[in-house]
Every structure is written in C-alpha cells, then in structure tokens.
Amino acid sequence: MENKEKLEWKRPEEVMQLHRLKMRKRALQARINNVRLNSTTAEISEKSSPVPGLFVSQKRKNPFVKDEANKKPNITPPDLEVSNDSTLFELLKIDPPKVAEAETSFENCPLTFSNAFLRPDKIKDMVELETVKGEKYIPIDWTLKSKMRFMSPKPFPWNCKLRTSEEASGTTGFVRCLNISEQDSTLDTSPNARLHRCCLIWQHPSIPWLDLFPRSAGKVSATLVNNSIITNNTAIKEALYKEWCESFRSLFNLLRARQCPYFYVCANNFTVLFRAAGICGVSEAHALLTPTTRGFRQLLNQEEIEYTMPLRKDNRRRSDGTDSGCDTLDSTTTNTASYKEHENIDDEEVETQDEWLQSLGVENAEIRKINSSQARITLEKQTDIDNLKQSLVFVKGVEAQALFNFLINCKSAITTNGPLAGVPPTLLAPVAFHGAMLRPIKVRESVVRVDNERFFSLELKGPLLPHVLPSLCSLMKSSQMEKYSASCARLDSTTSFSDVKHEIGRLLFLIRTVPVAFIYRLTDRIFSDQKESSNVLKISENVFGKENLSDCGFTNELVKYFCNPDSTRIEVIENIKYSNNLYTWS
C-alpha cells in the first residue's frame, strides 16, 4: 500500500507549487546565510585586530570593474546597436526635416526620435504630405470634348432648375463678357447663374434639324435626317456659304485684334484651331490643322503656304547630332517647312541620275522602271502619315492669314455627299461674332451609385471648348467643394492639338512691342537677380500676352491660364480629380 501511495501521479499545478516553495526556501536560506557571514566576518576582524574596536582593512571590490560573469549577452544586431534620427527616418522612408540649429523651442523643434512621442500629430502630417500627390494647377487641353461628367460625394451648390433672374444674369454675363462673381452690379451672383454662364457657346451655322458637332458624316444617321432641302437647292447652299464666309471673316478679324482668344473650324474631314498672339507664349497669331492628307498638303504647296509638321518624325539625316528626331515649331527651318522646294530639288536629282544612267548605256525603258519604283516608294513615305496625328500642320504669322484665305475658297471644306452635303464647316468660339447663334450646353444632374456609394453627378453634353473645364473647376473651388472628379469624352481627331509643344518666342518681339523704359527695367532685373534670369523671358511674355488679351472676353484668371508659355502644362486630360486642394489627372 505504501508503494502505491508513492507511485501516485501528481498534477502539474502541485509540482509547480512545490517547485516555487523550494525556490522561496532557498532564497530565504541564502539571505540568512549572507547575514550570518557578514556578522561573522566582522567579529573575526575585530578579534584579530591588535587594537580593540578597530577593523582590519580588507581589500574591497572595485565598483567600476565590469562583472563578466553576470554580463548579459548582446542580442542586438550590430547594424542596430547605434540608433539615431537618420536611421529612424530611413526605416520609416521619411525625409528628415531641415530646420535651423537656433530653433530650440518646443514649437519649432525638429521632428526627431527623442521628441517624436511628444508630437505624434506631426508624424501624421508628414506621412500625409509624403503620400498626397498633385498640382495646384490644371493643364491646358486643346482637345475638343463632347461630354463631361463631374461626380462628388457631396451635393453640388447648384441645380439645373434656373430661376428667371439666374438665367438672365448668366446669359448677360456671358454675352457681355462680365465676371458676375466680381462685378459690382445688380446681376445675380448665385452658383446657378455662374454655372449657366459657363455653359454657353457661340456657333455658326445653326440648323435645328442637323447636329453639326461633331462633324463626322459617318456618325449622322441618314435615316433620321433628311437634308434634301439643302442638297437639292442651289440657292440655299449659296446663301449658307455666303453667310458662313461673313461669319468666318468676322471671327478671324476679332482674333487678329486680340479680342477673341481662339476659335475652331470643324469640317467633315479636318479641324482647324486658330489662336491669337500671346496664347501659349507664341508671339504671333497661329493656326493648327489636323488631320491632313498628301493631297491637302499639295494644295497648301500650290498656294505657297509655308507650314511645319511638328509631330512628324524627321527621317532625314541632320548635321546636328543633338536632334531628337521630331521637328519643333521654332527649331524647324524654312527648308523643312517648304516642301515644294524639296520637290524641286528631287526633280533636279532625278534628271541628273537619268543622264548618269544613260551615259552608262542603260536603256530608257529600264530608266523609266527605276523612276516609277522610286516614285512609288516616295509616295508611300509621304502618305504613311495621312489622317494620323503626325500629319498635323502648323502655320504662324502671315501664313495664318494665307490659310484663312485658302479655307474660304477651299471646295473640299464643304462635302458634296452624305447628310451634311452643302453645309459649311461649324465655327465654335467663346465670344460673339457676326451671324453667331448663342447655344446652351445641355446640363443634367442626377444621383448615381458606384460600389454601393452614393455620388452626385453633373453631366454636360455639347461642344465643350478648352475654357469650360478650368471655369467649372474655379467655380467649384470658390463654392468650397472639397472633393470631386471629372471624366471627359474627347474628339479623338483633335488630340494632336495638345501634343504640340510650343517653345518660347523670340526676345526681338518684346523689343518691337514694349516701351524702351520697360526694357531697361527688365534688363536691370535680369542682371540684379541671376537666379531668375532664365525665367524672365517666360514671365515677360506671359505679362505681355495678358495685357494684349485683356479685352478677349475672358477673366483675368483665364487669360493668365491660357497665356502661360510653359509647354509642360499642355496635356490631354481624360480624368481629373480634386482633393486636398490639389489636382491629379490622367
């Protein structure tokens, strides 16, 4: 029986309890033995001392000697033994702040490892600044758009139901080119009136039963549209053409006088963008035409209109090895612009080659075959960019006037078949001109759900010119909209307008157009501040463009926006988002 009791199983709790009890006993016993040992040592010292009451000097332990026996092993990696602020910021992937050494107060003290726990809000702000990306400006997009939709998690400060005063004030502000948000007048300054002002456009011609934008014959349904009234009546076609010529001439004169910033000419097969002097930093009135074909460019050569093709890749070998392969607007020389001269040079080369082949005894039939094959290869090279964005044509100055005369007399600008036969090209402008009709952009407001989230939607449909997007974004910013996004449906044939990068104009233009006293002040500023000398030309051209276009119908903010000579601010926009006072786009 006794053996059975000894062999009984014990629970782990009982075993651990006995173990802890033994440990406590050992610790108590060690303390008792230590006290006894110290007292015994004192008694022995006192007895061994020759003088009663005097202790014998014992060699005491050096307190500064490291205890190698009780030293704990270092488990910290050698790379992390020395921890400072720089390694902390490297691990967090945050750039250390640069502050002056004299800033020692708590408000201005730098964010370091020692005071990071005292100021956790600063770390949060720095991380947010590191993650948030965007710009404070909106790039210029010269692409024509047919639809635009704004979406916001919060309701917009306006609605589509306009009151009488709001519609009247918006129309008056647009027609008279008044900024109703700043003018001291009796006009309505509500968000509805300001929105209505941004959604108007001038157009010619305007035929109620025809949709003249976008001008693509393939997109117009012939079954729904009966245009036999125009196609079968010569008098109507002549009246439309005559009226269109007067409107086109009036609009171009406004552009030359810098009272119109830009306008579009939309034909069935091509689109032309005319821009006033000062827009995008270009010193003269200029025009861009896209797309083109080899036959159309031959017509320009016959009219002796010199042009450049800045988006076309230059396959010719240049003496300058720094050429990137594409012609820019200012670097392209007259030889590259006048294709007629190159054709003459090619003809001379062909005659020389024929004489050389005849001297070698080659028959005329073989020479004709060689010439025909070379002509076919040359034709393929010239037509490989037809109807592509690389076929964009750029003219400037006097050549813009020549292009205007060419378009008025160009028979190919008016199609002879299809639903739009006999209808002149559509003129679109932000300012009034002879024969123009005031057309409103269709606006529709709704509520949509995306991923089970509710969004307020504002959809615009119609010819949307480049100034509409920045105007609406400025309106939303003044209305304190914290977050919204916009998506655009563009006219693909006009995207090449935003692919052209303009270089800064010449300083000679400034000398011809500004007072001498201002030039002296400008040169003093150049030599007094060497850091800003590289940007003086950009700033000055922007200033001159703003002053010359002060009566173009735009607000000062929009004039500054379109006169910016920075080519990096010209981009094609499909989607744009606004958050944290910054814009991001794609």
Helices 191-198 and 164-175: angle between axes, nearest 10 degrees: 40
- The helix or strand, by DSSP H or E, that contains position 124, with its residue range, turns out to be helix 120-131
- pLDDT value at 45 more than 70: no
CA nearest to 130, candidates 580, 586, 585: 580
Instruction: State the pLDDT at residue 37.
Output: 58
Q: What is the mean pLDDT of the chain?
A: 75
Structure letter (DSSP) for residue 567: G
Q: How far apart are CA 554 and CA 570, in angstroms?
A: 19
Helix (H, G, I), strand (E, B) or coil at 70: coil
Residue range 104-123: mean pLDDT, rounded: 49
pTM for the model stands at: 0.67
Contact 308, 394 (CB under 8 A): yes
Nearest to 414 by CA among 545, 586, 268, 531: 268
Q: What's phi and psi for 499, nearest 5 deg?
A: -85, -15
330 vs 141: which has the higher pLDDT: 141
Confidence grade of residue 374 (pLDDT, cut at 50, 70, 90): low
On the question of pLDDT at 523 being above 50, the answer is no
Q: Which are the contacts of 538, defined by CB distance < 8 A and separation ≥ 6?
A: 281, 504, 565, 566
Least confident of 405-419, 517-531, 549-563: 517-531
pLDDT at 215: 85
Three-state SS at 498:
helix
The answer to whether 495 and 389 are in contact (CB under 8 A) is yes
**∠17-23-24 over CA atoms, to 5°?**
90
Run of H or E including 33: helix 12-48
Which segments of 228-328 does DSSP mark as H helices, in order? 228-231, 234-256, 294-302
Helix/strand/coil percent split, the chain, to 5 = 45, 15, 40
Residue 95, pLDDT > 80, answer no
What is the average per-residue pLDDT within 515-530?
A: 44
